[in-house]
Amino acid sequence: MKQNPFLDDGWMPKYDAMTPELCEAALEASLPVAERALEGVEKRLDVSWEGLVVAPGLAVRAPFEAWAILCHLTSVVNSPAWREQEAKWQPRIIALAQRASQSKPLYEGLMALREGDSLEPWQRHVVERQLLAMRQSGVGLPAPQRRKLNAVQAKLAKLSMTFSNNVLDAEREAKVEVAPEEAAGIPEDLLQGKGPWTLGVDFATYDAVMRHAESADVRERFWRARVTRGAVAPHDNTKLIDKILELRRQEAELLGYDDYAHLSTAAKMAGDPQTVLDLLAPMAEVGRPAAKAEDATLAAFAKANGHKGRLMPWDKGYWSEKLSQETFGYDEETLRQYFPMERVLEGLFGLIEELFGVRIERQKGALHAWHKDVRFYRIFEGEALIAGLYVDPYARPGTKNGGAWMNEIRGRDFETRRQLPIAVVCCNQKPPRGKAPATMSFYEIATLFHEVGHALQETLTRVDSPTCSGISNVEWDAVEIASQFLEQFPYEPALLRGLSCHVETGKPLPADLAKRIVAKRTYRAGAALVRQLLFAETDLALHAKGFPRKGDTPLALLRRMAKRLLPTALHEDDRFLNAFTHIFAGGYAAGYYSYKWSETLSADIYARFRGATAAQRRKLGRRVRETLFALGGSRPAAEVFRDLMGRDPDATAILRLEGLVE
């Protein structure tokens, strides 16, 4: 079995040699070995860091690493065969995880270890959080309740996987036909041949059509196709949402929490739902009137330019783009021509090298990657290789998940082996067409910076233990701090110009245009803020004790929240919740607020870079690397922040950055 690529612990996995059959063989062989090894650890109980933390991790490492590879492949090259493997092995993987987290010998041993004086501070932090995780997995429950909890968690995992697959399938199958006579305004790179054209509703295509298509009928068809993903048979998630929420209520009750929101926040920086609401409430007080004024301005502009009646959801993107062009003097599609992806990556890596003292080089030759478009970069400190980074940039509707994300491929581990970290950044931007290079919108640039920020925390870690290197053991609502910090830099005019090189002329972005792009940062900032608050507060409310009231539904709750937070009511056909994978198929259940929580801290950190000299920025960058990136989950996130900033967070920093307060 050593040649099986799923069990090969070489640094760069050989993805091109992986097949569903080899996946099955790897898990079939490694799971029983792991189960026996875990039993052995319990029988030979050694009350030490090595005996209670390192040894159990080694016992289950092989199947968990093979499973992580399988999950990665289902997200980037999804197929029925990979899905079959995921569905088959998920229950066994969950059972092994539950077996470890519900082990009373390990729990009692960790309790004894915590009471002793043999642990370093970072080890004590890991043990404290591991004990909390074990309590939240049901280690202290009587056997009947523990069995019930295990069944609930297994059902939840299966339902979440089905939810995600439904969204992926719905997006793959959704098509909108556009006739030549109604194609005015749609970017040419979407219209190949003479037409009529059949277009998908992946975000890159959808966004371009909603901003530029002159036909309201076309925009409406795209809007309806997009907002009903996961809401139409055979991919309808409506009943799944109810089942998932009910199972989470049962899980919280079994574990002794008031509701799932309390269960979720207990292990996060926030600590409890009320602390989250206390952060969000002042934002809503600022955001609501700003959004209302912005919508009034937009409606007046549309009316003055010939729009009849009220603005519908499929009108706002179009008229917002028109108003933006008039206000700032450029349009997004023209702007793309200044940002070929290769130049953006070059500029991004140059910034990282300057701020954090590393060197990034693209690796040539065979990568053994999962797709031909994937590239790999080696990260050096001086002459020493310290990490690697995969970048998978382009959309592949139907086989690759939507959105953008970062995953760990290899975690830094110098405790049990000499393994350097590798991260992967996946985006969904438009691929190149013909001989023309791939170009990027400003949104795609900001997204790339965001995901690479995650990757820096994973790859620049200096923690040797896999228990807390990179993003391991970092509180969930602190995970976005690094990503949102790096996302701030494209808003600097000089840096933005450095990312540019017109695809035809080779000239950089004009200085005045760069300033206008940056000025647009505050454009409709109120509307953007209240939309994020809607998602965050709806998520918390869905998981709170007061829901559901008799006869209530998740959709009805969403509409009530929208009525309170948004300038206009949610459209009756909007089924956004049915594709809200973050909270129903990701790790953000009762945790979507993490984006705003982290953004508050990241804006505060970035504020120190604004107006700083080059030398000061390098010094600040090294400090960020030594704390936020280097320390991983070896210390509480609040301590890491105070170590970096010398004080507690300023909650108004993000509102100032977005121009919502002085």
How far is 268 from 279, CA to CA, in rounded Å? 14
Give catalytic status of residue 451 as yes or no.
yes
Q: Rounded to whole angstroms, what are the CA distances from 422 to 343, 354, 446? A: 23, 21, 22
- For residue 323, give every residue at least 6 positions away whose Cβ sits within 8 Å of its Cβ, in sequence order, or none: 297, 298, 301
Token readout for 593 is 């607020």
Task: Look at the block and give the residue holding tokens 């002042």.
Answer: 282
DSSP code for 53: I
Cα 368 to the center of its chain, rounded Å? 25
Q: Tell which residue, 498, 488, 533, has the closest CA to residue 624.
A: 488
Q: Tell which residue, 359, 624, 347, has the closest CA to residue 492.
A: 347
> What sign does the dihedral 588-593-599-600 (CA atoms) show?
negative
At residue 163, the 3 state secondary structure works out as helix
Burial of 25 from C-beta contacts in 10 A (0-12 / 13-18 / 19+): middle
Estimate the crossing angle of helix 104-115 against helix 20-43, to 10 degrees: 60
- 152 within 8 A of 94, measured Cβ to Cβ: no
Task: Look at the block and give the residue holding tokens 């966004």.
Answer: 207
Phi, psi of 488 (to 5 degrees): -75, -25
Token readout for 412 is 């830094």
At residue 409, the 3 state secondary structure works out as strand
Cα end-to-end span (Å), the chain: 63
Please name the amino acid found at residue 47.
Answer: V
Angle 233-235-239 (CA atoms, 0-180°, nearest 5)? Answer: 85
How far is 196 from 192, CA to CA, in rounded Å? 10
- 22 within 8 A of 34, measured Cβ to Cβ: no
Beta bridge partners of 425: 391, 406
DSSP code for 183: -
- 360 within 8 A of 448, measured Cβ to Cβ: no
Burial of 643 from C-beta contacts in 10 A (0-12 / 13-18 / 19+): middle
The active-site residue, picked from 451, 475, 537, 599, is: 451
- For residue 140, give every residue at least 6 positions away whose Cβ sits within 8 Å of its Cβ, in sequence order, or none: 107
- For residue 435, give every residue at least 6 positions away whose Cβ sits within 8 Å of its Cβ, in sequence order, or none: none
Q: How many residues are recorded in the chain?
A: 662
Please name the amino acid found at residue 403.
Answer: G
Token readout for 472 is 């391991």
H or E segment and range at residue 177:
strand 175-178
Beta bridge partners of 384: 381
Please name the amino acid found at residue 133.
Answer: A
Peptide bond into 196 cis (omega under 30): yes
Cα 41 to the center of its chain, rounded Å? 35
Q: Which residues are catalytic?
A: 451
